[in-house]
Structure formats: structure tokens, C-alpha cells
Amino acid sequence: MTRRAVWYLMLVLVLLLAWTGMASAQGDVVELWYMGWAWPGDQPQEPRLEAFMEKYPNIIVTYEYVEAGQFNDRITALAAAGTLPDVLWIMDDNMYVYNQWVADITEFLENDPTFDESKFWGNSLDPMQIRGRYYGLPFQLQASFLVANLDVLNYFGLRLPQPPWTWDELWAFCQRMNRPAQGYYGMEDPWMFWAFMPAAYYDGVTWDALLYDGSRLMMDDPVVAEVLKTAIRWEKENSAVSIGLADGTSTNPWENPAFNEVYGNTSPWMQNKAAFHVGWSWSFTWWTQNYESQWDIVPYPSGPVRQATPIIVDHMGISPTTKHPEEAFTFLRWMSYDPDGWIARMQVEAPCPYSMPTVNVPEAWELYFSNPNVPPGMRLVYETLEGGIIDPNRYTPELGYVWDNFITPARHQVRLGAAAFDDVMPVAIEQANKYLEEAWARVDEKLDAALGK
């Protein structure tokens, strides 16, 4: 054999070995550890995981459920041991970043030509885009709206209002059904209007009249203050829970004896005594299985500034300790914005998909709408999602503390008639904003230490 032939044979062998090695690597089975707080009985992960693994047979994903109240403690312990899950749900956006529990995925997104920020709803990407870098992506989306008891509307000879409509029109519409002596009301419990109404009247705020960046509550603005006073009037003057607030003895009107005397332990809405209540899209399956009344949903009304649909988004990230970052990102991508992922999830999650698609994939949405457990009014809510406003609790530090210690006590005084709004709320808001400023300063200091200034 000539030297040229020997050299050629060696080259062929080298290339063959290289190709065999790559093929073997591509075919290697990789196991991913995936952790979240989705209770298996309510949000089973198996159907979506099986659909993913059918498309990616070399990636095995094992889900571990941890109770929401224990989730942060569990992650803290795993981080200390250096054994974080490959992919994990994110409960506190800033904390997970400054503790380095989730990895920077910006390069993955920059190298993916299918990633399109405009496909996501509202400001749902913002919470995990910290200092210009991405640390997580939305993978579940829920929306709030009004659930209408059609039997009650029919009883009063009324039709379900259709958009566009206003908050003033909703107020007048509900008053047409109020019959206190018989226990009939248009609205059951408008507690959440306090959180949801301001964004329709004041631009630049999300829930609770909080600026989008979470830096300041705008409840001291004159326009917002009037909206909040109206939200309390809803409770006290134009809803079933007004019965439980009338004597000023109980901050929870549902536990007031006067309320229980009229409705017992059953929801006025479920007794065909109230036409509307606040609802969320995660409840469709339960409602279909348990509601005896005919029902549908309708988006919240519009205010002078806009129609603002509240949305809740769960984010998911990759741990910096994963040994399989490419495969972990493949799973994260499939769960977040891959059209094929959403099309598959809409078909396999039963009896109703727990989440709406986080991105605008028409084929996936049509599958969602065609599910018999999704009410017709969901198409109207879908039309409002581009202007959706995201729950700020996951990205605003210590917002729960601010509510519990400053805002809620003052609000209770107003609801119970013990004080006027203008006497107690300005002080509470000043204290709340001071605390928020200090909380953000603590977060920024920790982010500086973890990411650099």
C-alpha cells in the first residue's frame, strides 16, 4: 500500500470516528430534573412532558412537585448543596437572580431566530429581563375577567353586555338587578376591583396602582384616589357583600352573620342570586364540572385610558449548575414560545389546558378556543391580552409586606366606615412608598454584588 493510500485510509477512519462520535452524542439520552409548585391533582405535568419527550426522545424530563409555601426553602437548601434542578419555576424574580439560582439565557435567545418579543402578551417578558439580560421566560398565562350567571340575567330579562363597555355602564347594569330584600345583586364580591380598576383610569400603572417598574404606588394621585374610593363604594353599595359590611364589624363580609343569614355557606352567584363574580382562566375545568347555572365570561370594562385585563404569568428558568444547558433550554423554549410546543399542549392537556398560550400562535389559540370547557367569551378576553397588565407581586420586593402592614389596615378602616379615605390613606401610602424605596435599594445592592453595577 502506498504512503498516499495509507494517508487517505487514515483520513477516512478519522472522519468516520468523528461522525460516529457526533451521532452517538446526538443520540445520548439526557435526563433533566424539572421542579415547580404545580399540584399534580390540579396541574398535572405528565401530559405536556410526554408530548415534549415524544418530539425529543433523547431528553427525559422528570418533574418534582414542591408545595408553593415550601418552594423557596427547598431551592435555598438545594443551592447550598450545589444541586439545583436543571429547570425550575421562579417564585421571586429578583431574588432568584441575585442568589444566582437561575442562569442568564440571553445568548440562547439572541441565537434563536424564532424568538420574537412581540409575540408575548402585554409586559409578560419584563419581570425576568433584569438589567438588560434575560433570566427566565413565561410558560404559563392566566387572565382575569367577569363570570356571568346567565340564569340570573335571564331572570331579570337582561342580556350579557358585550365590549366595548365602561365601568360606569357596569355599575348601572348591576344596580338594575339589586333587590336587597330578596338577596339579589348584580355583583357578588368586587374585592379585586381595588387592584384592577386604576390601570383603566391612569396610564403607566399595573395592579394596585403600582408603577410598571414596581417602584411606587400611585394611590395618592387624585385620579387614582377617586377610582379607589369608587372601588370601595362597589363593595359597600353595589354588591352582595355589602350585607356583610353594613354593620362595620367584620373585615371579611363572608363571615358576617348578616351575610350568612341570607346566603348561608354558599356563594350568592352559585345560588343564582348574583349575576357577576371575578374569575380566572385556571378555573374553567372546575366550573364546567361543578356549576349548575348557565354561564359565560366577559372582559372587564374600559376606563377613560384603556381596557386593562389583569394577567398572571409564571416564569421558568435554567439553573447555572445544570450539566445540560442546551437540552434544558430546548425544554424551556418548548414550554415558552415554541409554536409546536403550544400546539401540542393545547391537544394533550385535559380536560382543559391549565394555561393559555403565552404567545400569539393562531393555531394553538384555535385549539384552545375549540376545547368544550373554554367558554365562548374567552375569544373576547383574547382580544384584550395585548394590553394585559401583569401581577406585580413576583417582581416587586416585599410588596406583600407593604400591603399587610400599610395599605390593607387603612383600607379596612375605610371599608368598615371607621375612617375617611382622605384621612388615613395618604399616611399609609407615604409609609408604603418609603418602605418600597428601601426594599428596592436592598435589591439593587444585591444585584450589584451578583451581576456588577
The three state secondary structure string of the chain is: CCHHHHHHHHHHHHHHHHHHHHHHHHHCCEEEEEEECCCCCCCCCHHHHHHHHHHCCCEEEEEEECCHHHHHHHHHHHHHHCCCCCEEEECCHHHHHHCCCCCCCHHHHHCCCCCCHHHECCCCCHHHEECCEECCEEEEEEEEEEEEEHHHHHHCCCCCCCCCCEHHHHHHHHHCCCEHHHCEEEECCCCCHHHHCHHHHCCCECHHHEECCCCCECCCCHHHHHHHHHHHHHHHHCCCCHHHHCCCCCCCHHHCHHHHHHHCCCCCCCCCCEEEEEEEHHHHHHHHHHCCCCEEEECCCECCCCECCEEEEEEEEECCCCCCHHHHHHHHHHHHCCHHHHHHHHHHCCCCCCCECCECCHHHHHHHHHCCCCCCCHHHHHCCHHHCEECHHHCCCCHHHHHHHHHHHHHHHHHCCCCCHHHHHHHHHHHHHHHHHHHHHHHHHHHHHHHCC
272 assigned to some structural domain: no
Residues 410, 423: Cα–Cα separation, whole Å: 9
444 assigned to some structural domain: no
pLDDT the model gives residue 27: 64
Closest listed residue to residue 443, CA positions, set 387, 390, 399, 388: 399
Residues 24, 162: Cα–Cα separation, whole Å: 58
243 assigned to some structural domain: no
371 assigned to some structural domain: yes
Q: Which domain holds residue 360?
A: 3-142+311-387
Counting the structural domains of the chain, the total is: 1
114 assigned to some structural domain: yes
pLDDT the model gives residue 142: 97
Q: Which residues contact 378 (CB under 8 A, 6 or more apart)?
A: 281, 297, 368, 369
Kindly give the parts of the chain with pLDDT less than 70: 1-27
CB atoms within 10 A of CB 55: 13
pTM: 0.91
80 assigned to some structural domain: yes
Residues 151, 123: Cα–Cα separation, whole Å: 36
Cell of 315: 416564569
> Which CATH number do you get for residue 8?
3.40.190.10
Angle at 143 between CA 149 and CA 398, to 5 degrees: 120
Bridge partners of 298, per DSSP, are: 146
Tell me the CA distances in angstroms from 180 to 68, 72, 170, 391, one per residue in order: 40, 46, 18, 34
Q: Give the torsion through C-alpha atoms of 228, 231, 235, 237, to 10 deg.
A: 100
What pLDDT digit, counting tens, does each position of 372-413 carry?
Answer: 999 999 999 999 999 999 999 999 999 999 999 999 999 999
What pLDDT digit, counting tens, does each position of 331-364 carry?
Answer: 999 999 999 999 999 999 989 999 999 999 999 9
156 assigned to some structural domain: no
Cell of 51: 408530548
pLDDT the model gives residue 19: 35
178 assigned to some structural domain: no
Residues 403, 104: Cα–Cα separation, whole Å: 31
